[in-house]
Amino acid sequence: RQLKELSQKFGEIFEAEIGSEPIKRMLEEIDLEKLKKELEEKLKDKKVKDRKRLIARLGLVKSFIRKNLRPEWMFLTILPVLPPDLRPMVQLDGGRYATSDLNDLYRRVINRNNRLKKLLELNAPEVIIRNEKRLLQEAVDALIDNSARAGKRPVASSQKRPLRSLTDLLRGKRGRFRQNLLGKRVDYSARSVIVVGPELQIDECGLPKKMALELFKPFVIHKLMEQGIVHNIRTANILIQQAPPEVWKALEEVIEGKYVLLNRAPTLHRLSIQAFKPILIEDLCIRIPPLVCGAFNADFDGDQMAVYLPLSDEAQKEARELMIASRNLLKPATGSSIVHLAQDIILGCYYLTLEKEEEKKEKIKVFADENEVIYALETKSIDLHQKIKVKVKGEIRETTAGRVIFNLLLPEDFPFINQVLRKKEMKKLANDLIYRYGMEEASKVFDKIKEVAFEYATLAGYSWGMDDLVIPKEKKNLIKEAEKETQEIWRAYQEGLLSENERREKVIEVWMKVRDKMRELVPQSLNKEG
């Protein structure tokens, strides 16, 4: 209607077109130097509206002038065609062909372009020409980006599958950039699933023998030739494939004093890549010490890690002095400990430092030193959690045998810990040890704590059973009272004393109180002794 009104009003001087052609013509008519002066004049006025937009526009115009570009050049009039090697056709059995989706998309563009050419030669009506131009534009759009957008369905194959366009080849994790250009396979690297290695020290990792042999292959070949077992690389490779004892012995000699880098994706901070001494194992999994799980944010539900071998002496020196796990115990962001004293380590330390509540007053046994306590514990004269008195660090303390054992793991000048250790206390202990004795000394203490904690977590035998989860007796009464209150609230609502929102809020409040009360009662019903 508007088009009709304007054409009647302005007659021959009025012209209306659709599509990109009129926009391109308008851009061709722009004088950039003149536009620049106009924008500069407008910006001289301090009260001008949309000042930010005008500044941005002026910057764009200046860029066009400086680079000697024209605005109409932003329109694609000639379509580049991908080389045939990147959109291949493969002959299948039975004379059929499998082809790249791009060939179908290019075919659509060519067919529509040829049809438009013929229609223009035949002087077809404007409506038909306009429709054909629109179809050609859609074919070009699909070739460049065939993703589903608002009001546009992607072009699909005969099997109803959206065709992969040029953008799809570049986009995302499997695109040309991230798959082939940024993420390349490198030599002297490996990858495998991780499992826990509780026997490993903080700066050791378990490396599968087969993996280590492939990683250190050139070094093993050199060692075999040096020892005179083989005389050239070809025979060395054959010997390595056969894997006799001489090869494994050479591998063990080669990895002595070497370090490998372990990385777990996503690499979010510096501690996601650390150096470890490789220990040869028979498994096919990489073993990592439990204490470094916090730094890598690793768990053992199928996580994978990559191994890299630093080759040069300088790289090995850097790995040994800067990247080794025992020298990376602090979070770079906060400076607090990142050592993973958690899970079974906390359970073992908790069990070890637990104090038994005596039902009846018994005479507390007194010991001269820690050795007497351990002897009495081994001869079963005392219990691990029983109250005792012992002379430690120059004074007599009331403690337990378990706490005496735990304190023997700590440096001699560290204050005696005489409390039950939970997660919070373990975190504080880790920070104190690092800041008092430095990372290298602290890492040795952490290894000792880990070993003893695992031992006592096993001896504790803590486990969950259905019988342990007792439903508190008070639950029924709490629910009855809550239901009574909700009925009263409903009655008040029906009488018009409460609005819908007030009724809902009051009902939620009643049940929240029940939930909070149950939260208090459930832990009370659990057996404190486990």
Give me the pLDDT at residue 160, please.
82
Q: How confident is the model at residue 359 (pLDDT cuts 50, 70, 90)?
A: low
**101 vs 161: CA distance, rounded Å:** 10
Q: How confident is the model at residue 21 (pLDDT cuts 50, 70, 90)?
A: confident
What does pLDDT average to over the chain?
Answer: 90
One-letter amino acid at 466 equals M
Domain extents for the chain? 2-74, 84-179, 344-460, 474-525
Token pair in block for residue 147: 């993703």
**344 vs 306: CA distance, rounded Å:** 26
**129 vs 181: CA distance, rounded Å:** 43
Is the pLDDT assigned to residue 515 strictly greater than 90? Answer: yes
Give me the pLDDT at residue 529, please.
64
Alpha helical stretches, state H, 122-264: 126-144, 166-170, 209-215, 217-226, 233-242, 245-255
Give me the pLDDT at residue 513, please.
94
Q: Which CATH superfamily is domain 344-460 in?
A: RNA polymerase Rpb1, domain 3 (1.10.274.100)
Is the pLDDT assigned to residue 528 strictly greater than 80? Answer: no
Give me the pLDDT at residue 250, please.
94
Give me the pLDDT at residue 530, please.
59
Walk across the sheet containing 387-392 and list its strands: 365-367, 387-392, 395-400
- Which pLDDT tens digit goes with each residue over 232-257? 999 999 999 999 999 999 999 999 99
Mean pLDDT is lowest, of 137-151, 411-425, 453-467, for 137-151
Is the pLDDT assigned to residue 31 strictly greater than 70? Answer: yes
Is the pLDDT assigned to residue 46 strictly greater than 90? Answer: no
Is the pLDDT assigned to residue 220 strictly greater than 80? Answer: yes
Is the pLDDT assigned to residue 304 strictly greater than 80? Answer: yes
Q: Greater confidence, 18 or 234? A: 234
Centroid of chain to Cα 198:
24
Q: How confident is the model at residue 291 (pLDDT cuts 50, 70, 90)?
A: very high
Centroid of chain to Cα 248:
36
Give me the pLDDT at residue 72, please.
92
pLDDT, average across residues 74-82: 89
**374 vs 362: CA distance, rounded Å:** 20
Q: Greater confidence, 151 or 271? A: 271
Mean pLDDT is lowest, of 18-22, 82-86, 242-246, 360-364, for 360-364
Residue 273's H or E segment, with its range, is strand 273-281
367 and 373 Cβ atoms separated by less than 8 Å: yes
**417 vs 392: CA distance, rounded Å:** 11
Mean pLDDT is lowest, of 9-23, 213-227, 317-331, 377-391, for 9-23
- What single string gives the DSSP state of each residue in 23-69? HHHHHHT--HHHHHHHHHHHHHSTT-SSHHHHHHHHHHHHHHHHTT-
Q: How confident is the model at residue 410 (pLDDT cuts 50, 70, 90)?
A: very high
- Which pLDDT tens digit goes with each residue over 148-201? 775 678 888 877 888 889 998 888 888 888 887 777 788 999 999 999 999 999
Cα distance from N-terminal residue to C-terminal residue, the chain: 83
- Which pLDDT tens digit goes with each residue over 455-506? 999 999 888 788 778 888 899 999 999 999 999 999 999 998 889 999 999 9
% of the chain residues with pLDDT over 70: 99
Q: What is the pTM of this model?
A: 0.67
Token pair in block for residue 202: 């903080």
Q: How confident is the model at residue 340 (pLDDT cuts 50, 70, 90)?
A: confident
